[in-house]
A and B are shown apart, each in its own frame.
Chain A
Amino acid sequence: MSILVNKDTKVIVQGFTGKEGTFHAEQCLAYGTKIVGGVTPNKGGQTHLGLPVFNTVSEAMAATDATVSMIFVPPAFVGDAVMEAADAGIELAVIITEGAPVRDMMMAKAYAVKNNMKTIGPNCPGVITAGECKIGIMPGMVFKKGNVGLISKSGTLTYEGANQVCNVGYGITTAVGIGGDPIIGLSYIQLLTMFEADPETEAIVMIGEIGGDLEIQAANFIKENITKPVVAFIAGQTAPKGKRMGHAGAIISGSAGTAAEKMAALEAAGVAVVQSPAEIGEKVKEVLSK
């Protein structure tokens, strides 16, 4: 078991023939992901990486039975691409694109929700079920199969966290990079719920950062609803106020969104909070050997 995606998941790629789309689709195929085709307007009918290219998502779905789309469309057009996927009936859109305008994502997310399409990202590494299916840009070899679920706003901290979990002798069920933008798709609460229900997942690693209050909401949710042990790290304890730290969403405004506030809320909810990402592995070992 796992969450969201597995070895049978059929995936199309929007922005398939572009440089990024091509490179990462190849990597995903090498990992074993069932990519069944792609979409690039005006290139329908061609073959790319040995797979069919379609002009529209609807055509691609009708021909391939895909349920998931991995999106590499450039930022100015990504809102449109997400809405096209939702309109066509895609069940899950994994949006890798970085630099999407907030207004576009606000509209696209609202439309996705209306059409019951789940989204991950934008500006994220994607989702991976270890040993089965990689939809995104993460290095597959870091994720060894195991019993720990991972949720992270940051891409490289997803790899860092997974690597440590594997180095202490455990492994990953599914890892989801939710992205660090102001508007994101699936967030902690939905994913925590899925991991709680997944019989194979025995512990959950949650990596957050400064800005917004998603981690606070997650803490309140964990307190009432999550029985599995959770290990958490919040990046940005040393970040100054009012400065954007790389991610568009990682900014402390006023007194809200600080790491200290989030860590306190998580600790109060019974979460094992570490002060440095270097401690994630050992803490997972500790909670799982209890």
Chain B
Amino acid sequence: MNIHEYQAKQIFAKYNVPVPKGKVAFSVEEAVENAKELGGKIWVVKAQIHAGGRGLGGGVKLAKSIEEVKEFATEILGMTLVTHQTGPEGKLVQKIYIEEGADIADELYLGVVLDRAKEMPVIMASTEGGMEIEKVANETPEKIVKVAVDPTIGFQGFHGRKLAFGLGLPKEQVGKFIKFAAALYKVYMENDASLIEINPLVKTGAGDFVALDGKMGFDDSALGRHPDIEAMRDISEENPAEMEASKYGLSYVKLDGNVGCMVNGAGLAMGTMDTINYVGGEPANFLDVGGAANAQTVAKGFEIILRDPNVKSIFVNIFGGIVRCDRIANGILEATKLVNVSVPVIVRLDGTNAPEAAEILKNANISNVIAASDLGDGAKKAVAAAKGE
């Protein structure tokens, strides 16, 4: 799960990670009020969406008067912001963050992410703040300092020194930077974050460090023990079909093709998409029905897949292990009664009691349910059906 910049900064502030003062606004009036309350002479009006690159897309503006705050708030609220991370359809801006202006002397980058190879969090810092870190990593990898922190010992002084001296900070700033990095590591660990990025991390004229931006993602498996973070979920940022699917224990991701897929297991689901592609078709979705493929979940799966008007056929690919195939076959037949399935359904059932399952499907004699003998055969038949062959 991801959260907004203003929410990440709320969490930062709790851990004494310095952030500029700011307040979220849902209307132009509120934006103006916030700016007056914050005081000062410069404000930043920032669109709050779950995507990077907001500044380039026109979603971040520097206001030098209350009038300008009003002007920019009017402009940004309700706009559809397109950035390199939103896709061409963009995202509707429903809230903005009004923040005090910062005195920027230098821009750095600081992030924490899991290093899967080392199996520990790694803190990444760079002098190239404000740039995309992937770009820095590709073009000038020597400008990124990485320090992995063994979670069994936690963040130590030497980790901080490696970062601060690695960045070449002047000695009067080393202590401040170490304190900042230590606090950020604590934020990462205590909140079960999967990613934190501060880009840019600003060095002010007075030599202090401030998080000018904040991006946080969380480990979905740990949200159960963080009700405060779960409460930050912004439903408008999530895909409605994916969310509905997850309510029924299904894992769904929409794609652009026309062959719908319903599969048990994430790996086989991806393998099925790949096979459809391999035999010349295009998958319309990823859908993992999980371990319990019963009539209800299959029916829900059909319903979600068929909401996509591009879908011209559906390939049901189930490897029945502990769940017997004859039961799944009955579940599929029942599901076709619960949901009006208007396109051909190609069914491949393999594993325990597969021959009995094939018999059940054959005897049901439903015109648009076609049995397939194996994965390759099913994919070919589904692609042919989608092409109207």
| B376 at interface by CB-CB < 8 Å | yes
Nearest CB of chain A from residue B283's CB, rounded to whole Å: 6
| A65 at interface by CB-CB < 8 Å | no
A interface residues, how many (CB within 8 angstroms): 64
| B326 at interface by CB-CB < 8 Å | no
Known: A103-B189, A236-B274, A238-B274. A180 touches B266 (CB 8 A): yes
Q: Do A249 and B270 have beta carbons less than 8 Å apart?
A: no
Q: Do B222 and A163 have beta carbons less than 8 Å apart?
A: no
Give per-residue flags for A107-142: 1 if the beta carbon is below 8 A from chain B beta carbons, else 0: 101110000000000000000000000000111011
CA distance A180 to B222 in the complex (A): 17
Task: Out of A137, A235, A254, name the residue touching B267 (CB < 8 Å).
Answer: A235
Majority-rule SS of B interface residues: mixed
| B7 at interface by CB-CB < 8 Å | no
Q: Do A277 and B375 have beta carbons less than 8 Å apart?
A: yes
Neighbouring B residues of A16 by C-beta, 8 Å? none
Q: Which of A32-40, A193-201, A209-217, A265-273 has 4 or more CB atoms under 8 Å from chain B?
A: A209-217
Q: Do A110 and B321 have beta carbons less than 8 Å apart?
A: no
Known: A182-B116, A276-B278. A107 touches B267 (CB 8 A): no
Task: Out of B116, B150, B266, B376, name the residue touching A245 (CB < 8 Å).
Answer: B266
Neighbouring A residues of B374 by C-beta, 8 Å? 278
| A102 at interface by CB-CB < 8 Å | yes
| A239 at interface by CB-CB < 8 Å | yes
CA distance A207 to B322 in the complex (A): 21
Task: Out of A27, A183, A210, A242, name the residue touching B270 (CB < 8 Å).
Answer: A210
Q: Do A159 and B319 have beta carbons less than 8 Å apart?
A: yes
Task: Out of A109, A138, A276, A279, name the residue touching B321 (CB < 8 Å).
Answer: A138
Q: Do A156 and B268 have beta carbons less than 8 Å apart?
A: yes
Known: A154-B266, A155-B267, A277-B268. A102 touches B194 (CB 8 A): yes
Neighbouring A residues of B267 by C-beta, 8 Å? 152-157, 180, 207, 209, 235, 246-247
Task: Out of A110, A180, A255, A275, name the residue touching B151 (CB < 8 Å).
Answer: A110
Closest B residue to A183 by CB, please name it. B119
| A9 at interface by CB-CB < 8 Å | no
| A287 at interface by CB-CB < 8 Å | no
Closest A residue to B85 by CB, please name it. A242
CA distance A279 to B271 in the complex (A): 11
Neighbouring A residues of B33 by C-beta, 8 Å? none
CA distance A250 to B263 in the complex (A): 16
Interface centre among B189, B270, B274, B279 (most CB of A within 10 A): B270
> What are the 10 A-B residue pairs with the smallest beta carbon separation, nearest first?
A154-B267, A246-B266, A156-B265, A278-B376, A139-B321, A156-B268, A101-B222, A235-B270, A157-B267, A277-B271
| B352 at interface by CB-CB < 8 Å | yes
CA distance A156 to B275 in the complex (A): 15
CA distance A23 to B291 in the complex (A): 14
Neighbouring A residues of B220 by C-beta, 8 Å? 248
Task: Out of B85, B116, B265, name the residue touching A249 (CB < 8 Å).
Answer: B116
CA distance A112 to B20 in the complex (A): 43
CA distance A180 to B255 in the complex (A): 22
| B286 at interface by CB-CB < 8 Å | yes
Q: Do A155 and B274 have beta carbons less than 8 Å apart?
A: no
CA distance A65 to B283 in the complex (A): 51
CA distance A183 to B151 in the complex (A): 13
Q: Do B319 and A156 have beta carbons less than 8 Å apart?
A: yes
Give per-residue flags for A216-259: 1 if the beta carbon is below 8 A from chain B beta carbons, else 0: 01000000000000000101111110111111111000110001
Q: Do A110 and B150 have beta carbons less than 8 Å apart?
A: yes
| A84 at interface by CB-CB < 8 Å | no
Q: Do A237 and B266 have beta carbons less than 8 Å apart?
A: no
Q: Do B221 and A102 have beta carbons less than 8 Å apart?
A: yes
Closest B residue to A153 by CB, please name it. B267
CA distance A76 to B222 in the complex (A): 8
Task: Out of A106, A233, A276, name the residue touching B376 (CB < 8 Å).
Answer: A276
Q: Do A213 and B319 have beta carbons less than 8 Å apart?
A: no
| A99 at interface by CB-CB < 8 Å | yes
Neighbouring B residues of A24 by C-beta, 8 Å? 322
Nearest CB of chain B from residue A87's CB, rounded to whole Å: 14
Neighbouring B residues of A89 by C-beta, 8 Å? none
Nearest CB of chain B from residue A103's CB, rounded to whole Å: 5
Nearest CB of chain A from residue B358's CB, rounded to whole Å: 15
Known: A101-B192, A207-B267, A255-B138. 14 other contacts (CB 8 A): A101-B219, A102-B114, A138-B321, A156-B319, A157-B267, A238-B273, A238-B283, A245-B251, A245-B253, A250-B270, A254-B137, A276-B275, A277-B275, A278-B275
Give per-residue flags for B248-275: 1 if the beta carbon is below 8 A from chain A beta carbons, else 0: 0001010100000001111111110111
| A44 at interface by CB-CB < 8 Å | no
Neighbouring B residues of A277 by C-beta, 8 Å? 268, 271, 274-275, 375
| A261 at interface by CB-CB < 8 Å | no
Give per-residue flags for A32-72: 1 if the beta carbon is below 8 A from chain B beta carbons, else 0: 00000000000000000000000000000000000000000
Q: Do B219 and A103 have beta carbons less than 8 Å apart?
A: yes
| B350 at interface by CB-CB < 8 Å | yes
Neighbouring B residues of A75 by C-beta, 8 Å? 221
Give per-residue flags for A138-167: 1 if the beta carbon is below 8 A from chain B beta carbons, else 0: 110110000000001111110110010000
Closest A residue to B252 by CB, please name it. A246
